[in-house]
Chains A and B, each alone.
Chain A
């Protein structure tokens, strides 16, 4: 039975990027606060050097140019990451666009804690889940990652406690080893709730399993992880 979202090749790599756009300045540090530079104007591309936090504030203030900068910075990676959760490019593009519409309408909800990127991911993945009509076949969510991002993913009722989150917040290398020892089904549940920051219900919807099963697997994963890492 085909799932709604099948894996498909990701964005085509395009080396002939628009030169003016690739001249866009990078942030010097995550929390850089630079002076506001006027954004785009009448076809001339000017660099927007505002930090993400500043851009969110500008969006609350109804600055459409700020939203565009956020879009240009975040839509590409968001699309790539969503595409790995759902193979249908149209659905992904719609989810991306609806994400930025949601940012426009709800920028005031960003609480200032954590990365703006993480906040945007939270909106994006939920937009995608909302669009998933048929229950997808469980995607092998293998792999782990390091989750100093745990708190920022903002999963309110994830089954991981703070202690467990700290467990996972270890070095990239160590975690890789510990998690590969989990079975694929346990790993996918860990990924969905901890990495992607979904609630048990949302994780269940995405993986195509009941919430109860999500909880059970999380419990077993936690037990195994504690054992493996001690």
Chain B
């Protein structure tokens, strides 16, 4: 499969901070997850991929085109679906009007065909029955779904989603997974998230971003295996551990080093993530 996204030595500043620092990245069709703490630069990177803004240095190649050139940028946008992190939506619109408006902006001119498409995407996100309710009367999660729906219009080749699962309850997250798998095969989906569970459930590839740099780029399994042999369960905290916390079962999970008498545990993707970007915690009283 050929790469649909190439990021070459891209940098972006915001005021005096280097939000992205000489990033190199290649993304292929499928679902790629961007994992990282707040302030890591995920939103900025996604904005670059969605042609919202241009990098200060480096080049981008999206769907074989150069977003720095206006005609290419319009062509990219014809094949793009974008869900930003926060969207204020025009509250007077109904869900249908909102998606229909964006369908018009995506140049779906024939009204009958356009309405069929609007119905199709609203059905995918489960808003069919309430599509004629004003957005201000819908819950936050439903508004979010409307924004996701518009991104699916006209079956984009490139789908950029910034924290799409935030604010969704577990049932809706499940539906979100179904929805992602219903999007065309061959499309390239890049989504950002805080939640490691999203990564294991949704993504074929994961990129860990922190402080504007890439710390990992590979499959979720590869990421998890980074923590192999480095996760232990014990009754007490280890002061040298990278991260350690009390689990729901009352034992302490230590990532990094083992306190005496600890058992090795199966690593999870969260452990690996914490190993990569977590900071040491100060010493605490051992659990009784």
Contacts and interface: CB of A to CB of B under 8 A. Distances in A.
Asked whether any CB of A lies within 8 Å of a CB of B in the complex, the reply is: yes
Contacts of A39: 129
A63 interface: yes
Interface string B135-160: 00100000000000000000000000
A66 B130 CA distance: 10
A68 to B, nearest CB: 8
30 contacts: A39-B129, A40-B128, A40-B129, A41-B126, A41-B128, A41-B129, A42-B123, A42-B126, A42-B128, A42-B175, A43-B123, A61-B133, A62-B94, A62-B130, A62-B132, A62-B133, A62-B137, A63-B129, A63-B130, A63-B133, A64-B128, A64-B129, A64-B130, A64-B131, A64-B132, A65-B128, A65-B129, A65-B130, A66-B129, A68-B129
A59 to B, nearest CB: 10
A61 B94 CA distance: 12
A227 B110 CA distance: 66
B209 interface: no
Nearest to A68: B129
Interface residues of B, number: 13
Nearest to A61: B133
Interface residues of A, number: 12
B130 to A, nearest CB: 7
B124 interface: yes
The 7 closest A-B pairs by CB, nearest first: A65-B129, A62-B133, A62-B132, A39-B129, A41-B126, A64-B129, A64-B132
Interface in A40-82: 40-43, 61-66, 68
B54 to A, nearest CB: 38
Contacts of A43: 123
Contacts of B123: 42-43
Contacts of A63: 129-130, 133
Interface string B1-39: 000000000000000000000000000000000000000
A101 to B, nearest CB: 13
B132 A42 contact: no
A99 B28 CA distance: 52
A189 B132 CA distance: 42
Contacts of B124: 42
Nearest to A39: B129
Nearest to B123: A42
Given A40-B128, A41-B126, A42-B128, 18 more contacts: A39-B129, A41-B128, A42-B123, A42-B175, A62-B130, A62-B133, A62-B134, A62-B137, A63-B129, A63-B130, A64-B128, A64-B129, A64-B130, A64-B131, A64-B132, A65-B129, A65-B130, A66-B129
A157 to B, nearest CB: 35
Most buried by B among A39, A40, A64: A64
Nearest to B129: A65
B175 to A, nearest CB: 8
Interface string B89-100: 000001000000
A21 B47 CA distance: 46
Interface in B80-114: 94
A40 B130 CA distance: 11
Contacts of A65: 128-130
B225 to A, nearest CB: 37
A39 B132 CA distance: 15
Contacts of A64: 128-132
A43 B126 CA distance: 10
A63 B131 CA distance: 8
B15 to A, nearest CB: 45
A43 B133 CA distance: 20
Contacts of B175: 42
A121 to B, nearest CB: 25
B40 to A, nearest CB: 34
Nearest to B96: A64
B279 to A, nearest CB: 43
A37 B269 CA distance: 37
Contacts of A66: 129
